[in-house]
Amino acid sequence: MNPDKVFFKNREVAAYRLLDVLPIDSMKLEDWTVIASSYGGFEIAKIIARALNGKFDIMFSEKIYAPNNEDCEIAVVTEHEEVLIHEELVKSFDISLDYVYSKSKQIFDDTLTQKVKRFRHGEKIKRLEGKNVLIVDEGINTGLTMMACIKTAINLKAKSISVATPVLPTASIPTIDSIADDLYFVKKLDHFVSINFYYDSLEDVSFEDIELINKG
Protein backbone atom coordinates (compact mmCIF):
# COMPACT_ATOMS: atom_id res chain seq x y z
CA MET A 1 0.00 0.00 0.00
CA ASN A 2 1.15 3.49 -0.79
CA PRO A 3 2.38 5.04 2.50
CA ASP A 4 0.67 8.30 1.52
CA LYS A 5 -2.67 6.54 1.26
CA VAL A 6 -4.90 6.48 4.32
CA PHE A 7 -8.50 5.38 4.48
CA PHE A 8 -11.30 6.50 6.74
CA LYS A 9 -14.35 4.33 6.36
CA ASN A 10 -16.61 7.39 6.41
CA ARG A 11 -17.03 10.78 8.06
CA GLU A 12 -18.19 9.31 11.35
CA VAL A 13 -15.04 7.20 11.67
CA ALA A 14 -12.92 10.21 10.70
CA ALA A 15 -14.59 12.25 13.45
CA TYR A 16 -13.73 9.68 16.10
CA ARG A 17 -10.17 9.47 14.79
CA LEU A 18 -9.99 13.24 15.25
CA LEU A 19 -11.26 12.91 18.81
CA ASP A 20 -8.23 10.71 19.47
CA VAL A 21 -5.85 13.56 18.61
CA LEU A 22 -7.80 16.40 20.22
CA PRO A 23 -6.98 17.26 23.88
CA ILE A 24 -10.62 16.73 24.80
CA ASP A 25 -10.17 16.69 28.59
CA SER A 26 -8.41 20.05 28.70
CA MET A 27 -10.69 21.55 26.05
CA LYS A 28 -13.77 20.59 28.10
CA LEU A 29 -12.59 22.95 30.82
CA GLU A 30 -13.80 25.78 28.57
CA ASP A 31 -16.81 26.41 26.35
CA TRP A 32 -16.36 25.68 22.64
CA THR A 33 -18.28 26.41 19.48
CA VAL A 34 -17.52 23.88 16.74
CA ILE A 35 -18.03 25.18 13.22
CA ALA A 36 -18.00 23.17 10.00
CA SER A 37 -16.39 24.94 7.06
CA SER A 38 -18.31 22.81 4.55
CA TYR A 39 -21.34 20.55 4.25
CA GLY A 40 -19.01 17.57 4.44
CA GLY A 41 -17.64 18.72 7.76
CA PHE A 42 -21.03 19.20 9.43
CA GLU A 43 -21.46 15.63 10.67
CA ILE A 44 -17.90 15.72 12.03
CA ALA A 45 -18.58 19.04 13.75
CA LYS A 46 -21.68 17.59 15.45
CA ILE A 47 -19.80 14.55 16.79
CA ILE A 48 -16.92 16.64 18.13
CA ALA A 49 -19.27 19.23 19.66
CA ARG A 50 -21.07 16.48 21.55
CA ALA A 51 -17.75 15.23 22.95
CA LEU A 52 -16.92 18.78 24.06
CA ASN A 53 -20.42 19.49 25.40
CA GLY A 54 -20.34 22.43 23.01
CA LYS A 55 -22.48 23.97 20.31
CA PHE A 56 -22.05 23.30 16.61
CA ASP A 57 -22.85 25.26 13.48
CA ILE A 58 -21.77 25.70 9.89
CA MET A 59 -20.20 28.67 8.15
CA PHE A 60 -21.68 28.89 4.68
CA SER A 61 -19.34 29.78 1.86
CA GLU A 62 -19.16 29.52 -1.90
CA LYS A 63 -16.24 29.12 -4.26
CA ILE A 64 -15.50 31.54 -7.08
CA TYR A 65 -14.02 30.08 -10.23
CA ALA A 66 -11.91 31.50 -13.01
CA PRO A 67 -13.84 32.73 -16.07
CA ASN A 68 -14.59 29.84 -18.43
CA ASN A 69 -12.86 27.36 -16.10
CA GLU A 70 -15.04 25.75 -13.43
CA ASP A 71 -12.15 23.59 -12.24
CA CYS A 72 -10.00 26.54 -11.19
CA GLU A 73 -10.94 27.89 -7.77
CA ILE A 74 -9.67 31.47 -7.42
CA ALA A 75 -11.52 32.76 -4.35
CA VAL A 76 -14.02 31.97 -1.61
CA VAL A 77 -16.75 34.19 -0.16
CA THR A 78 -18.34 33.44 3.22
CA GLU A 79 -21.77 34.29 4.63
CA HIS A 80 -20.22 37.36 6.28
CA GLU A 81 -18.97 38.57 2.86
CA GLU A 82 -15.37 37.76 3.75
CA VAL A 83 -13.58 37.21 0.43
CA LEU A 84 -10.32 35.28 0.32
CA ILE A 85 -8.47 35.37 -2.98
CA HIS A 86 -5.88 32.96 -4.34
CA GLU A 87 -3.60 35.79 -5.38
CA GLU A 88 -1.11 33.70 -7.36
CA LEU A 89 -3.82 32.22 -9.57
CA VAL A 90 -5.56 35.55 -10.07
CA LYS A 91 -2.29 37.10 -11.19
CA SER A 92 -1.20 34.19 -13.37
CA PHE A 93 -4.54 34.14 -15.23
CA ASP A 94 -4.67 37.93 -15.35
CA ILE A 95 -8.06 38.02 -13.66
CA SER A 96 -9.14 41.44 -12.47
CA LEU A 97 -10.05 42.05 -8.85
CA ASP A 98 -13.19 43.75 -10.13
CA TYR A 99 -14.29 40.40 -11.56
CA VAL A 100 -13.59 38.58 -8.28
CA TYR A 101 -15.43 41.09 -6.11
CA SER A 102 -18.39 41.51 -8.45
CA LYS A 103 -18.71 37.74 -8.70
CA SER A 104 -18.48 37.36 -4.93
CA LYS A 105 -21.18 40.00 -4.47
CA GLN A 106 -23.43 38.20 -6.94
CA ILE A 107 -22.91 34.84 -5.22
CA PHE A 108 -23.46 36.38 -1.80
CA ASP A 109 -26.73 38.01 -2.87
CA ASP A 110 -28.06 35.11 -4.95
CA THR A 111 -26.90 32.07 -3.00
CA LEU A 112 -25.46 32.66 0.46
CA THR A 113 -28.21 34.93 1.73
CA GLN A 114 -30.78 32.33 0.67
CA LYS A 115 -28.98 29.54 2.51
CA VAL A 116 -28.68 31.63 5.67
CA LYS A 117 -32.35 32.58 5.40
CA ARG A 118 -33.39 28.95 5.10
CA PHE A 119 -31.02 27.47 7.68
CA ARG A 120 -31.10 30.18 10.37
CA HIS A 121 -34.14 32.20 9.37
CA GLY A 122 -31.92 34.93 7.96
CA GLU A 123 -29.46 35.17 10.87
CA LYS A 124 -25.79 34.94 10.00
CA ILE A 125 -23.62 32.67 12.12
CA LYS A 126 -23.95 33.62 15.77
CA ARG A 127 -21.62 36.12 17.35
CA LEU A 128 -18.28 34.54 18.12
CA GLU A 129 -16.89 37.40 20.18
CA GLY A 130 -14.97 36.06 23.19
CA LYS A 131 -15.64 32.43 22.24
CA ASN A 132 -13.29 29.50 21.65
CA VAL A 133 -13.92 28.33 18.10
CA LEU A 134 -12.93 24.99 16.58
CA ILE A 135 -13.31 24.95 12.79
CA VAL A 136 -13.51 21.47 11.30
CA ASP A 137 -13.79 19.87 7.90
CA GLU A 138 -13.67 16.41 6.35
CA GLY A 139 -10.30 17.33 4.83
CA ILE A 140 -8.39 20.28 3.48
CA ASN A 141 -7.45 20.56 -0.16
CA THR A 142 -6.32 24.01 -1.30
CA GLY A 143 -7.07 25.46 2.13
CA LEU A 144 -8.85 28.47 0.64
CA THR A 145 -12.23 27.70 2.23
CA MET A 146 -10.69 26.99 5.62
CA MET A 147 -8.64 30.19 5.53
CA ALA A 148 -11.74 32.20 4.61
CA CYS A 149 -13.59 30.73 7.58
CA ILE A 150 -10.68 31.42 9.92
CA LYS A 151 -10.50 35.04 8.79
CA THR A 152 -14.25 35.41 9.26
CA ALA A 153 -13.95 34.08 12.82
CA ILE A 154 -11.09 36.52 13.46
CA ASN A 155 -13.23 39.41 12.22
CA LEU A 156 -16.03 38.23 14.51
CA LYS A 157 -13.56 38.60 17.40
CA ALA A 158 -13.33 34.97 18.48
CA LYS A 159 -11.24 34.47 21.62
CA SER A 160 -9.30 31.58 20.08
CA ILE A 161 -9.46 29.73 16.77
CA SER A 162 -8.36 26.13 16.34
CA VAL A 163 -8.62 23.90 13.28
CA ALA A 164 -9.22 20.15 13.14
CA THR A 165 -9.30 17.95 10.06
CA PRO A 166 -8.69 14.25 9.41
CA VAL A 167 -6.38 14.78 6.45
CA LEU A 168 -4.55 17.64 4.76
CA PRO A 169 -1.55 18.39 2.51
CA THR A 170 1.69 19.04 4.37
CA ALA A 171 2.13 22.18 2.26
CA SER A 172 -1.00 23.77 3.75
CA ILE A 173 0.15 23.49 7.37
CA PRO A 174 2.36 26.62 7.57
CA THR A 175 -0.40 28.87 6.20
CA ILE A 176 -3.00 27.60 8.65
CA ASP A 177 -0.53 27.60 11.54
CA SER A 178 0.24 31.25 10.82
CA ILE A 179 -3.24 32.46 11.80
CA ALA A 180 -4.83 29.63 13.84
CA ASP A 181 -4.02 29.07 17.49
CA ASP A 182 -3.88 25.29 17.12
CA LEU A 183 -4.08 22.78 14.28
CA TYR A 184 -5.07 19.15 14.82
CA PHE A 185 -5.01 16.42 12.19
CA VAL A 186 -4.83 12.65 11.85
CA LYS A 187 -2.73 12.49 8.71
CA LYS A 188 -0.62 14.94 6.74
CA LEU A 189 0.41 14.03 3.20
CA ASP A 190 3.34 15.27 1.16
CA HIS A 191 1.71 14.05 -2.05
CA PHE A 192 -1.94 14.93 -1.63
CA VAL A 193 -4.40 13.59 -4.21
CA SER A 194 -7.89 14.69 -3.17
CA ILE A 195 -9.99 14.44 -0.04
CA ASN A 196 -12.24 11.64 -1.27
CA PHE A 197 -9.18 9.55 -2.18
CA TYR A 198 -8.58 8.95 1.53
CA TYR A 199 -12.10 7.79 2.37
CA ASP A 200 -13.72 4.45 1.62
CA SER A 201 -17.05 6.25 1.41
CA LEU A 202 -17.51 9.97 1.00
CA GLU A 203 -20.99 10.61 -0.29
CA ASP A 204 -22.08 14.05 -1.43
CA VAL A 205 -23.83 16.08 1.27
CA SER A 206 -26.74 18.29 0.26
CA PHE A 207 -28.34 21.25 1.99
CA GLU A 208 -31.23 18.97 2.93
CA ASP A 209 -28.72 16.58 4.53
CA ILE A 210 -27.27 19.23 6.82
CA GLU A 211 -30.79 20.26 7.82
CA LEU A 212 -31.44 16.66 8.87
CA ILE A 213 -28.12 16.42 10.73
CA ASN A 214 -28.93 19.67 12.51
CA LYS A 215 -32.31 18.40 13.65
CA GLY A 216 -31.16 14.88 14.53
pLDDT at residue 93 tops 70? yes
**65-69, 129-133, 149-153, 182-186: range with lowest mean pLDDT:** 65-69
Confidence of residue 6 (pLDDT cuts 50, 70, 90): low
Confidence of residue 1 (pLDDT cuts 50, 70, 90): very low
Give tens-digit pLDDT for 103-120: 999 999 999 999 999 999
CATH number given to 11-59+127-215: 3.40.50.2020
pLDDT at 59: 97
pLDDT at 68: 83
DSSP symbol at 130 = T
The C-alpha atoms of residue 67 and residue 155 are separated, in whole angstroms, by 29
**Judging by beta carbons within 10 Å of its beta carbon (0-12, 13-18, 19+), is residue 165 exposed, middle or buried?**
buried
pLDDT at 7: 86
As a whole number, mean pLDDT of residues 24-49 equals 97
pLDDT at 47: 98
Alpha-carbon torsion 132, 165, 202, 59, what sign?
Answer: positive
pLDDT at 43: 97
As a whole number, mean pLDDT of residues 168-187 equals 96
When the pLDDT of each residue in the chain is averaged and rounded to a whole number, the result is: 94
